[in-house]
Amino acid sequence: MRHLSRHVGPILAFLSFIATPLVAQTGTIRGTVTDSVTGQGLAGVSVQIIGTTHTTATGGDGNFALADVPAGTVTLKVSRIGYGPLQRSVTVTAGASADEKFVMSPQASILEPVVVTGYGSQRREAITGSVSTIEASQANVGVKTNFTQMIQGRAAGVDIVQNNGEPGSGAQILIRGGSSISNTNEPLYVIDGVPIVNDNTQPGGQGLGSPSLNRSPLNMLNPGDIASMTVLKDASATAIYGSRASNGVVLIETKHGSTGGSTIEYDGYVAASSPAKKLDLVSPSAYRSFIQDQVAIFNADTASGTPPSSAAGLDPIHLTRLGSANTDWYSAVTRTAMTHNHNLSFAGGTEDTRYRASLNYMMQPGVAISNDLERIQGTLTASHHAFENRVRLAATVTTSRENDKYITYENTGGFEGGVFMNATIFNPTQPIDITDSTGTHYYETGSTSVRNPVALANQIQNVGNTTRTLGQVNGEYDLNPSLTAKITLGIDHSDGARQTYIPKANPLGVALGNGQATQEELANTTRTIQTLLTYQHQSGDKSFDAVGGYEYTQFGSNLVGAQGVGFFTDAFGYNNLAAAASRTDWSSTRDWKLASFLSRVNFGYQDKYFITGILRYDGSSRFAAGHQWALFPGLSASYKINPDFKVRAGWGRQGNPGIPPYQSLVTFNPGTGSTYPWGDVPQSGVSANSNGNPDLKWEQTDQFNLGLDFGLWSNRLAGTAEYYVKNTSGLLEYVQSAAPSNVSETLQNVGKLKNTGFELTLDALAKSTPGFTWRAGLTFAAPTSEVQTLGGASFIRSGRVSGQGQSDQWAQRIMPGQPLGTFFGPVFLGVDSAGKQLFRCGTASATCVNSQTTAPAPEDYAVIGNANPDFTFGLRSSMTWSKIDVSFLIRGSVGGDVFNNTALVYSTKGNALQDKNFLASALPQNDATGLHEPAIFSSRWVESASYVRLQNLTVTYTLDIPALARTARNVQLYASVDNLFTITGYSGLDPEVSNLSTDPNNLSPDAGLAARGIDYLSYPRARTVTGGLRLSF
């Protein structure tokens, strides 16, 4: 150990490397691995000489070869997902070849032997925390744009709700319920050991009303490149990531080259998607007769002497607004879209040098028109082992280009309206386009509040693109057989652009000032340096390993944008801002730094008792001076009661720094809010745009976890049951400041949130006979959350209600004693004979008679729902009959509520007063609510969100073509259906809806991070049929 002092630090160590004598005497190990049930050779079995990085994998026939093995006795280990690992001693003689045969028995596939745990990996037996692993090859079926879709339903306690059906849309990912109210609840993603900063890579766009949701910044990763995903859930596992880990950690390992000879793989599919469900709007003929009926009512009323202004029904003028066309607007803006995806990779190498290169092309048009995502992505990885395997170097570069085409639609909505709003309300008796003296053009009503949705989708240019490169190099050096130093350098650079043009050919473009063009560019760079020292020691029945290191991350971001308004022609599109009559521009920059010291110690005794201790010390620039550094400890232990059962317990503390920079400072900002036109000339001014907070510090989550792992009947049934309690304190929230203050709200650490939950994961090899294998798995999670305090506030309003006439209406309240996502509002009782809605009220008054009122008052509001499910589950199954494999995944969620904001605003027949269409459920034959009754938010619109969905069904056939079999290792054809059916009582499009906002830089509680389960004109989810081919040579 003494020589260590001469090599302080790995960099020095690398530089001071001295050649050591080489041993020339080597031999070869050859062999085959077969399945105990079928007797067939097993492909893809990992073969490793324990204690070394000498590994290979079996080929299609089950054969393997390991060359250049030093003479002597080594321990050979074979492992493959779904089979129990085997190991045995092999004696290698110099210059000779040893022949070994292994017969592996199938078992539950959850039990893979090695688990990535962050800054290293561990044997599954030694895991003391709560860890879920997802085997990518099983999860990457159907159309998977983003790897998060691969986790859905496959990891207990990981709730992933895709924002909507838009290609590449972001998702709300809650691991164990999320731990924050206004801060991000996004887990930390770590790709091949480097934590990723998951900021938006594309400018959000200058929205109309509100911009559409950002697409996921992680679309840049090709699911086909992913080897495995590991979700660290409890604090004892995540504490190693300290300040960024309170929402859990997702570790992603990408595929690397292997020494089993070179391989070429092609995987491609074509998929057809169409909306799984469409809004049930009033049909053109039903709309016509509705208008005619209402006019008849009006005429009868006025004939009996009622003045027109008080007559019921519709003024006859509305008859003149009926057209002669029959247009299904919702169908006009949706379509069946063909996606295609191609992956080509080749990999190979020698014992010392390995490589893998892959290329991906994907084109996914949306099920709405004028909307798509295109991805071109390439990855190169290479590794080299030198100096007798004591030095290991590796590099990975991934570059992707994503081209996005957006349509204008609104997730939250104001008056301008987007494609889906206008498809909902546009008069169904009017045509999409008309031909007159000026030629054929889109039909517009001339009204400023309704616009042709097809024209909106097709005329507005709204595109984005992102080029992102993720590169990392790492070097490892074995200082001695037990001690390894590693240095990793990572760089993540993205350039994202957003370009929009709203032409004057469209009335929206006219309203915005005769054409509005916008260009924005956002550049993000993250640099990471990581140094690790790993020590491993085994003596007798004691095992010990430790890792310690330092990590430094620097993030910088620069945004520049410009907008031009007023064009004499639409010909320029967004490409010539100088042609605009007036222009504005803007730019801003942000940066932050994170420095960390980390350490973990694992101690094992008799392979029965394991203890893990973690200490991480993190400093973030984003907090106030004096509060920047914090300690994040974790401690966990496991005890193997017998070979079948293991109990685990752990505790840890994590943080959440997901706030934008500069929040602790008082900052001054120019802008129109501080500009004043004395002398009638705007005088640029500044004003403080924050209150600063010298006490700003981390949100802190303490989590306790209890787990039981079991493997029964020779590991044919394996599983994990877990219980956790998570207490988050110092919740970061924008709370009102005592007046006067520079701005009304200050970011403060107030509030406490408690999450508890039970999770169960089961994995079974249900049947295994020659010719037939059936594997099945279940994930189950029952989480609860409760806000405990909110500092001084008795409640915070959350979840803005969208739509016309809904200003200042909020669907949810964050209240102590209630979970996040609690719906709060009037209690709906029914509709009276006059067509007025009745609500429950308390104190009798002029407006409250018999505990019923038509005008709900805030004091009568009550808890009317909870967006959180009682439990969620995922059920997967895979049956293999020799060449045919049938697998499916069913997901479900039970007990939650969803607020059907779409129905609130659009199931009111009063829309006809403005010649707007509405949902068929509001027709008089279906609903007694009066024509003049406004849309009032109440329990009427809060529905059960329970559902069971057949997420995916895949049939794979392994081809047996003699001509191919000679050259190809594997040829598979598969067909797959995503979202085949959903069983739900929900009346809207889809009960699975995400929050309103995913902007991590907007912490305002009304921004929606805390809001859940609000469905407003969601982009329809697709039902997709995929046909694909996998080839490997």
Q: Which helix (H) or strand (E) holds 75?
A: strand 72-79
How far apart CA 820 and CA 36 sit, in angstroms, is 51
In the complex, what is the shortest distance from the CB of residue 880 to another protein, in angstroms, rounded to a whole number?
A: 47
* Among candidate residues 672, 550, 561, 659, the one with its CA nearest the CA of residue 599: 550
Pairing of strands 391-405, 461-480: antiparallel
In the complex, what is the shortest distance from the CB of residue 825 to another protein, in angstroms, rounded to a whole number?
A: 10
Half-sphere exposure of 900 toward its Cβ, with a 13 Å CA cutoff?
21
In the complex, what is the shortest distance from the CB of residue 594 to another protein, in angstroms, rounded to a whole number?
A: 8
In the complex, what is the shortest distance from the CB of residue 470 to another protein, in angstroms, rounded to a whole number?
A: 21
Tokens (6 digits) for 1015 = 């469905």
Could you give the maximum distance between any two Cα atoms of the chain, in Å? 113
In the complex, what is the shortest distance from the CB of residue 409 to another protein, in angstroms, rounded to a whole number?
A: 20
In the complex, what is the shortest distance from the CB of residue 417 to another protein, in angstroms, rounded to a whole number?
A: 12
Nearer to another protein, 277 or 590 (CB): 590
How far apart CA 765 and CA 888 sit, in angstroms, is 15
| Look-up of token digits 């020799």 | 882
In the complex, what is the shortest distance from the CB of residue 998 to another protein, in angstroms, rounded to a whole number?
A: 23
Which residues are bridge partners to 614 per DSSP? 600, 634
Nearer to another protein, 322 or 875 (CB): 322
Nearer to another protein, 436 or 859 (CB): 859
Nearer to another protein, 71 or 529 (CB): 529
Nearer to another protein, 75 or 845 (CB): 845
- CB-based burial, 23-34: b 16+ in 10 Å, e otherwise: eeebbbbebbbb
In the complex, what is the shortest distance from the CB of residue 381 to another protein, in angstroms, rounded to a whole number?
A: 25
The C-alpha R_g of the chain, in whole angstroms, comes to: 31
Q: Which helix (H) or strand (E) holds 883?
A: none
> Tell me, what DSSP letter sits at residue 83?
B
Nearer to another protein, 307 or 962 (CB): 307
In the complex, what is the shortest distance from the CB of residue 723 to another protein, in angstroms, rounded to a whole number?
A: 33
How far apart CA 129 and CA 635 sit, in angstroms, is 9
Nearer to another protein, 363 or 611 (CB): 611
How far apart CA 540 and CA 314 sit, in angstroms, is 90
In the complex, what is the shortest distance from the CB of residue 12 to another protein, in angstroms, rounded to a whole number?
A: 7
Contact between residue 423 and residue 475 where contact means Cβ atoms under 8 Å apart? no
| Long-range contacts, 713-716 (Cβ 8 Å, 24+) | 714/84, 714/105, 714/107, 715/84, 715/107, 715/108, 715/111, 716/107, 716/108, 716/764, 716/765, 716/766, 716/768
Dihedral sign computed on CA atoms, order 763, 765, 767, 773: positive
In the complex, what is the shortest distance from the CB of residue 861 to another protein, in angstroms, rounded to a whole number?
A: 10
Nearer to another protein, 727 or 1001 (CB): 1001
In the complex, what is the shortest distance from the CB of residue 940 to another protein, in angstroms, rounded to a whole number?
A: 15
Nearer to another protein, 689 or 714 (CB): 689
Beta carbons within 8 Å of 987's beta carbon, 6+ residues apart: 900, 903, 921, 943
| Look-up of token digits 């924008």 | 734
Classify burial at 728, counting beta carbons within 10 Å of its beta carbon; exposed 0-12, middle 13-18, buried 19 or more: buried
3-state secondary structure of 514: coil
CA distances from 142 to 138, 533, 979, 1023, 1026 (A): 11, 41, 10, 11, 6
In the complex, what is the shortest distance from the CB of residue 735 to another protein, in angstroms, rounded to a whole number?
A: 6
Pairing of strands 26-35, 97-104: parallel
Nearer to another protein, 192 or 915 (CB): 915
The type of residue at 935 is A
Beta carbons within 8 Å of 20's beta carbon, 6+ residues apart: 387, 388, 390
Nearer to another protein, 766 or 857 (CB): 857
In the complex, what is the shortest distance from the CB of residue 510 to another protein, in angstroms, rounded to a whole number?
A: 8
In the complex, what is the shortest distance from the CB of residue 617 to another protein, in angstroms, rounded to a whole number?
A: 10
* Among candidate residues 121, 125, 140, the one with its CA nearest the CA of residue 190: 121
Beta carbons within 8 Å of 867's beta carbon, 6+ residues apart: 812, 821, 822, 823, 896, 897, 898, 899, 945, 1012, 1013, 1014
* Among candidate residues 169, 144, 149, the one with its CA nearest the CA of residue 1020: 169
Nearer to another protein, 766 or 913 (CB): 913
Nearer to another protein, 397 or 512 (CB): 512
In the complex, what is the shortest distance from the CB of residue 739 to another protein, in angstroms, rounded to a whole number?
A: 4
Contact between residue 715 and residue 764 where contact means Cβ atoms under 8 Å apart? no
Nearer to another protein, 481 or 985 (CB): 481
Nearer to another protein, 406 or 567 (CB): 567
Length of the chain: 1033
How far apart CA 717 and CA 106 sit, in angstroms, is 11
In the complex, what is the shortest distance from the CB of residue 36 to another protein, in angstroms, rounded to a whole number?
A: 43
Contact between residue 195 and residue 241 where contact means Cβ atoms under 8 Å apart? yes
Nearer to another protein, 479 or 953 (CB): 479
Nearer to another protein, 931 or 1031 (CB): 931
Nearer to another protein, 338 or 666 (CB): 666
How far apart CA 1021 and CA 153 sit, in angstroms, is 17
In the complex, what is the shortest distance from the CB of residue 566 to another protein, in angstroms, rounded to a whole number?
A: 10
